[in-house]
């Protein structure tokens, strides 16, 4: 789907407003993991495997090889789960990200303009020292790593609940492969590092850490710091095509054990002690629940100020955009959906979207017709006024006689002098008093003075 980002954003906002986003994301993860490994189990063994392993272990060996390959690519692509969980972490983990990396990333950005961290020899500027740049870059990477690895206790409980379910499902589906130790960590780092910490390091302005987008040199420094995170979090080491990055290999040996400990801490699901919504928002939520449905729609949902009706309208718009896109010259009709393949709930949603689209078109047509009628009525009124003004201008005033002077003295109209009585009688307080208290207050100050004496 072309609008996958927009769809994920709408769905996450809707489920957050309903306080069921965690359950929905766990369901998506469970379905994606099961589908990927179910596809592997259905693949038949190849002749090469039977030749190499003539015994009954040949098929089991192939299944393990396929599972190992699946775990390496698990959650690496762009799916509804990966996009939605990324949007969810952006919203729910904003305070966690600020507490963990906010201050230090601002420090890096502020100093990047005059403290170069360039370590690619082909990008070095004249006068720069490669060893000094390496020392400065490794210091930044270590500081970022230490801050992340020490933040497990501050990680939102929603993250831990989702990560624990994902890791448990991966172990359940691929627990018999030799690389399961590798897979149970990379399936979590694919989210917490690849889609949370690293994007924040690459562009802090998109995550509210800095106000202005970084310049070219600042972006380069942030990119190199992200590379330092990527090698350890992927558990794949450094190097490859970029040989100049090999000195970062010391980070793998330095942080590998701490990295696995950190992932283990994130996958410990804390016992549920109550509703997921923070206690400080329960009062406003209770007040909102006592209002009538129409009034509730006008109040955003805390704590993310989500406008639920707007998000639902955006979701319907996305669905109808796929069904009724603008027709191209080579396209005779709109897209169609095989409703027989849809679930009952999705079929009901599909029907509702079509009804809403049809009703919207009817209302728009009605509004356009009424506007055209109003325009035609206004034109008729304007034509009548123009005709009347033209008739008045045709009637000429009588010409002056021979004894009448051509120019007459203009009559001077003197403006009445200012009077406190007139001012008081026309003031808003006086009019208010007169409307409420009759009698004495209805008289002017001079009349009340005469009555006193």
Q: 285-289, 353-357, 397-401: which range is least confident on average?
A: 397-401
Residue 378 has pLDDT above 80, yes or no: no
Which residue from 270, 269, 97 is spatially nearest to 167, judged by alpha carbons? Answer: 269
Element (DSSP H or E) covering residue 10? helix 4-17
CB atoms within 10 A of CB 67: 23
Name the region of 19 (left: φ>0; alpha: ψ -120 to 50; beta: rest).
left
CA distance 29 to 35: 10
For residues 222 and 109, the answer to whether their CB atoms sit within 8 Å is yes
The radius of gyration of the chain's CA atoms, rounded to the nearest angstrom, is: 37
Report pLDDT for 309: 87
pLDDT in tens, 311-332: 988 898 888 887 776 655 555 5
Task: Decide which of 121 and 379 is more confident.
Answer: 121
Q: Please report, for residues 7, 36, 248, the alpha-carbon distance to residue 185 in angstroms, rounded to integers and kept in the order given.
A: 28, 18, 21
For residues 94 and 16, the answer to whether their CB atoms sit within 8 Å is no
- Provide the token pair at 433: 């008093």
- Could you identify the residue written with the tokens 């690293």? 198
pLDDT in tens, 230-262: 888 877 666 667 778 888 888 888 888 899 999
Reduced to 3 states, what is the DSSP secondary structure of residue 425? Answer: helix
Report pLDDT for 341: 79
What is the CATH number that goes with domain 15-36+78-266? Answer: 1.10.506.10
193 falls in which pLDDT band (50, 70, 90)? Answer: very high
Beta bridge partners of 301: 306
CB-based contacts of 161: which residues, under 8 Å, 6+ apart? 22, 26, 269, 270
φ, ψ (nearest 5 deg) of residue 408: -100, 150
- Judge if the upstream peptide bond of residue 75 is cis by omega within 30 degrees of 0: no
For the chain, the domains span: 15-36+78-266
CA distance 285 to 277: 10
Report pLDDT for 181: 72
Residue 153 has pLDDT above 80, yes or no: yes
Which residue from 220, 217, 154, 163 is spatially nearest to 193, judged by alpha carbons? Answer: 163
122 falls in which pLDDT band (50, 70, 90)? Answer: confident
Residue % of the chain over a pLDDT of 70: 68
pLDDT in tens, 19-78: 899 999 999 999 998 887 776 655 555 544 444 445 556 666 666 666 666 666 778 888
Q: 104-118, 152-166, 339-353, 365-379: which range is least confident on average?
A: 365-379
Report pLDDT for 75: 83
């Amino acid at each position: 789907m072309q609008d996958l980002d927009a769809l994920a954003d709408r769905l996450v906002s809707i489920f957050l407003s309903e306080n069921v986003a965690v359950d929905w994301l766990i369901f998506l993860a469970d379905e994606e993991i099961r589908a990927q490994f179910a596809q592997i189990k259905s693949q038949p063994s190849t002749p090469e495997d039977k030749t190499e392993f003539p015994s009954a272990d040949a098929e089991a060996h192939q299944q393990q090889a396929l599972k190992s390959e699946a775990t390496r690519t698990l959650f690496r692509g762009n799916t509804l789960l990966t996009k939605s969980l990324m949007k969810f972490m952006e919203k729910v983990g904003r305070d966690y990200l600020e507490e963990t990396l906010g201050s230090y990333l601002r420090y890096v950005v502020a100093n990047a303009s005059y403290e170069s961290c360039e370590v690619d020899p082909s990008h070095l500027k004249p006068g720069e020292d490669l060893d000094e740049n390496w020392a400065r870059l490794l210091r930044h990477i270590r500081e970022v790593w230490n801050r992340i690895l020490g933040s497990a206790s501050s990680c939102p409980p929603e993250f831990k609940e989702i990560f624990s379910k994902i890791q448990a499902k991966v172990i359940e589906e691929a627990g018999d492969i030799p690389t399961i130790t590798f897979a149970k960590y990379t399936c979590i780092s694919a989210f917490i590092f690849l889609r949370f910490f690293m994007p924040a390091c690459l562009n802090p302005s998109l995550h509210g850490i800095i106000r202005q987008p970084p310049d070219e040199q600042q972006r380069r420094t942030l990119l190199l710091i992200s590379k330092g995170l990527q090698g350890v979090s992927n558990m794949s080491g450094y190097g490859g095509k970029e040989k100049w990055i090999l000195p970062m290999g010391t980070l793998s040996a330095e942080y590998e054990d701490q990295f696995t400990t950190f992932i283990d801490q994130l996958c410990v699901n804390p016992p549920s002690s109550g509703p997921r919504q923070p206690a400080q928002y329960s009062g406003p939520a209770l007040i909102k629940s006592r209002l009538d449905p129409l009034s509730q729609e006008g109040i955003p949902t805390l704590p993310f100020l989500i406008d639920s009706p707007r998000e639902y309208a955006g979701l319907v718009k996305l669905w109808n955009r796929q069904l009724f896109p603008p027709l191209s010259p080579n396209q005779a009709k709109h897209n169609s959906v095989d409703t027989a393949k849809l679930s009952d709930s999705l079929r009901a949603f599909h029907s509702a979207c079509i009804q809403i689209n049809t009703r919207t078109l009817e209302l728009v047509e009605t509004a356009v017709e009424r506007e055209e009628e109003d325009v035609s009525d206004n034109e008729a009124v304007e034509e009548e006024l123009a005709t009347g003004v033209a008739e008045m201008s045709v009637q000429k005033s009588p010409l002056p006689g021979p004894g009448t002077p051509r120019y007459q003295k203009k009559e001077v109209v003197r403006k009445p002098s200012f009077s406190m009585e007139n001012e008081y009688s026309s003031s808003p307080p006086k009019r208010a008093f007169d409307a409420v208290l009759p009698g004495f207050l209805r008289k002017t100050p001079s009349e009340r003075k005469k009555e006193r004496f």
